[in-house]
Structure 1
């Protein structure tokens, strides 16, 4: 099992003020951690006013209470590396205005197994950790209307490492980078903007231009149970397999789009070695280059690569422009052949269609220019499923 954070504290955020309540306010420009946090503005002549820091507020709020964070940019030791061990809601004033910045040197939240937590209306950026660059979850976590940008993990989960139960809804993930332990096989070549070895649901969300260096699955690396609905994956790239998703357990997916994702090895959009069920989804201009599979570049699976031991069912899906082909099912292993069923789908699903003819300058964006232009034109032309909230 992949190691968790390089240093896990054996204590949790504790109360830091004698006064606490069901609602605690935070204001990074007008607050004071010596105030009780029970008013959004300072009440003259009293100690009632907003907290200055998020760490102080989460340590003050009652179990089951809410921390309301005013717009502003929050960084530094009092706003990062926050360990939460009791139930609470952490809500920003607005997604684009309430920003927690790890300054490339700190992770943001660790949710303990004892806690049920909702995080809403926050931008979390520049988090940095061994695993879980922004958030490491051992508990029961819901992320709603969140925005994760430019977070980094040395091994896995550049935005979120989930070891518990995680629900993501109406959230976006842009330009996050997990390096998979720089190819050290001790780390199983994991990566993922979200790394899951628990239970994960993702609904109406976006993964754009995320990167898996020396690992597999740029957007999601799944070793648990993943249910995915109404989510778009655009321009993600993996140095290994699974340009968007690497599935090693159970993945059920519907009404989602995969556009211009790239895998240097196999599975431009999805690499599957577990159980995969896909319904009513689109795969457009995804590319797999077949590295490490030489001389088998023609069987790399532009949209989906189903490896031996994996099973897949694809129903009512649309495939176009995937290179070298839409789906490749590996039946050449000595044991545990892959198997799959395709029903009601359009496109060329054969193993030898659409010979690869492009070269890829593998960089952080990971996108061949022609593929990116085609993807943008498809979106602007209204040929893909309309964007959701």
Structure 2
């Protein structure tokens, strides 16, 4: 990069606005009076420098001749060349210039390097055209470059009533750093009553510069000094001052600084601790960086405290503003910020950036009690700051807002600083401004706001009329109206009461005059943020105002007056109540696997909002209720009854309301049918269970004569077979105990198991000769068991059935034998008998007994 920077001459400097360099040098005489005199015009290095007449010619010679705590007294003249520049100060010395003592680097030489551990004072000296680059050290120098005029190491230095003009720090190698276009400091530096102009630290992509005029990494104190036209180019940090240490600046100005592409801070770059008191940062310019960021007149990533200072007319690049732009032409903050009793005025703005402060991280310690060039909240007005952390701010007031004067009367109009929260400001901490009063009839008066107050006496009351008085602080203006010689009026205002949200406020306004004449013109009705302009008709007007939110309003009615009538005013508090809502809930009974719903009705018309749904008193979810009916799904409920409550949430518009209903969840009814047929012993019994509905499935208990068995109902008809049943009656019950879907159910039946029909087959084998024989009896079925009995006349025989038969050896009587066989049966077989007569049948009467 090539940059042409013009030099200045001694004659140029004599006309500078900050040229107050004529103070006495006596304050800087050291204790032992050791003074070395130097005169670049009339001196001679062959002299001893002990007096002005024996002055040395060069500073180099004076340094060699001096000792610690000497004073080097520099006569008027220009000190340049290698004998007066590129010098290292390694002793504690005081340099005192005269009215026009100039060190000139001629655009090629640096001036001084101040070594560690010395105490140096520069008084009444002008440093011009200082230049430093790596070649200033050597052709092979490959390190960082510091301070073209003063490169201060860990020393204690005071600069008083000095000027630094046209200093340039330059490096053309990437990945290097340069520090302090005019001055770099790593020690303790005081800058008093001094002036810096057109100092530059050059940089470009890959090369970084810090501080166009001053770089500080030690302790820096600046008082009553001015920085003008400092400059930083690509990748520069602080065109005026860059601070990585501790810095305090009081009663000083940084103005007309320029920072071009990719720079941070056209006035100040702070990564350390910076205190700014009673100073002015104005008219500084910065171009966007990273193609869309404006890094401010002040870039702060450290701790910045400012009080009593003015930030004014700082601007940014206006190349095709984009929505992606962010930042501020005034303060870009990524650190900690504490700003109180400062004035932010006329800093530039365009789309996407903040006029006064842009926060991109860091912490707001305080942003209160500043003046933002507006009486409104700076967060809401004009994109001044991008965070809502301004709690209080200064307000510029002009009162009374309206005055009514008779011919020949006067009124005092007061201008003052107040705070928006009505607290008393500590105005002594705030800069003192002038207020310019102007009037609609051509009068102008400028006064100071002493202790934050000033006044204007209006006495232009010789003729009837309406007049305006303006009070201007910078570009901000307030005005009041004074009417003279008109008729007094009064306002009567009536409105409806008990107004709720969504109701209309109905207002009736009547304006009357002291002489019964009819006022004409316009009535203004102020309520909330709205203003309604209403034309009078025969001194009256009616209006309705809708969409007022609930709350207390000051309804201000102002009759604006006319050619013959004064204004009149009326204030009244109007309360808009929240809307009472009508909330009801209807819930239908559902079966256990059904989806339920709550129909929530919300009235009156227009009401809607959030509600909380509770189930048996437990908060479950937030729902949104629309006007009219809203259907809320109710799913996954088990059998039972549930108290469903909806609590409509109170809002800014509506009162809270509750409504409840019972959700009843029931199981399905079901029924069982059980049947079984009678059987005989030996047959299998089949129990048939039919279910309704036919989808019913699950386990059931089958009870047969008190004996329980678990069965599974696997179809709409389930069959259960019973085996090996004995004769008898069987009571059957099927119990379904219910499940997640169906209620319990049962059904019963009974069946009989009959004994098998039994018959006896009898074979009688008789030996008539011997009157004996056998009787063989076969029982059918052969499975019968038990005893078979046999009578032959009066002889009785019994035997156990074996394999379905018995055989008796019997005796017969001579003559007729009555044979009777019987089976009494058992649990499975019925009883049976058989009889016959052998021989001649006589009358026979059976008188036998049971075999058992």
* TM category, shorter: 0.7 to 0.9
Per the alignment, residue 310 of structure 2 pairs with 282
Name the CA distance, whole Å, in 2 between partners of 1:295 and 1:82.
52
Q: Deviations over 1:322-377 (max 9, x none)?
A: 1221111114xxxxx4434211101164498369xxxxxxxxxxxxxxxxxxxxxx
- Which one of 364, 384, 390 corresponds to residue 339 of structure 1? 364
Per the alignment, residue 302 of structure 1 pairs with 329
- Which one of 72, 81, 85 corresponds to residue 86 of structure 2? 81
The structure showing larger relative contact order (alpha-carbon pairs under 8 Å, at least 6 residues apart) is: 1
TM-score by length of 2: 0.36
- Which SS does the other structure have where 1:57 is aligned? helix
**Pairing of 1:43-54 with structure 2 (within 5 A):** 49-54=54-59
Q: Is the 8 A contact 1:329 1:351 kept in 2?
A: no
How far off is 1:183 after superposition?
3.1
- Which one of 41, 44, 50 corresponds to residue 38 of structure 1? 50
Asked if residue 152 in structure 1 is aligned to residue 181 in structure 2, the reply is no
How far off is 1:316 after superposition?
0.3
Name the CA distance, whole Å, in 2 between partners of 1:32 and 1:288.
53
- Which SS does the other structure have where 1:59 is aligned? helix
Q: Is the 8 A contact 1:329 1:340 kept in 2?
A: no
How far off is 1:182 after superposition?
2.0
How far off is 1:302 after superposition?
2.4
How far off is 1:158 after superposition?
1.0
Name the CA distance, whole Å, in 2 between partners of 1:383 and 1:245.
32
Gaps of 5+ in 1: 1-20, 42-48, 332-336, 356-377
* Residues 1:207 and 1:384: Cα distance change in structure 2 (over 3 Å): farther
- Which one of 99, 116, 129 corresponds to residue 132 of structure 2? 129
- Which SS does the other structure have where 2:129 is aligned? strand
**Pairing of 1:86-97 with structure 2 (within 5 A):** 86-94=91-99, 97=100
- Which SS does the other structure have where 2:382 is aligned? coil
Q: Is the 8 A contact 1:326 1:350 kept in 2?
A: no
* Residues 1:135 and 1:124: Cα distance change in structure 2 (over 3 Å): same
Q: What is the alpha-carbon root mean square deviation over aligned residues?
A: 2.5
Name the CA distance, whole Å, in 1 between partners of 2:341 and 2:116.
39
- Which SS does the other structure have where 1:90 is aligned? strand
Q: Deviations over 1:124-182 (max 9, x none)?
A: 00101132111100111110000000010122211101111111000000011111x32
Name the CA distance, whole Å, in 1 between partners of 2:59 and 2:264.
38
Name the CA distance, whole Å, in 1 between partners of 2:322 and 2:117.
48
Name the CA distance, whole Å, in 1 between partners of 2:66 and 2:242.
34
Per the alignment, residue 802 of structure 2 pairs with none
Per the alignment, residue 173 of structure 1 pairs with 196
* Residues 1:32 and 1:254: Cα distance change in structure 2 (over 3 Å): same
Per the alignment, residue 110 of structure 1 pairs with 113
Q: Deviations over 1:200-238 (max 9, x none)?
A: 111110001110112021110111111111111111111
Asked if residue 184 in structure 1 is aligned to residue 212 in structure 2, the reply is no
Name the CA distance, whole Å, in 1 between partners of 2:204 and 2:381.
32
> Which one has a bigger Cα radius of gyration?
2
Name the CA distance, whole Å, in 2 between partners of 1:87 and 1:129.
24
- Which SS does the other structure have where 2:116 is aligned? coil
- Specify which structure has the higher proportion of strand: 2
- Which SS does the other structure have where 1:183 is aligned? coil
> Aligned pair count?
321
Name the CA distance, whole Å, in 2 between partners of 1:196 and 1:104.
23
Per the alignment, residue 311 of structure 1 pairs with 336
- Which SS does the other structure have where 1:122 is aligned? strand
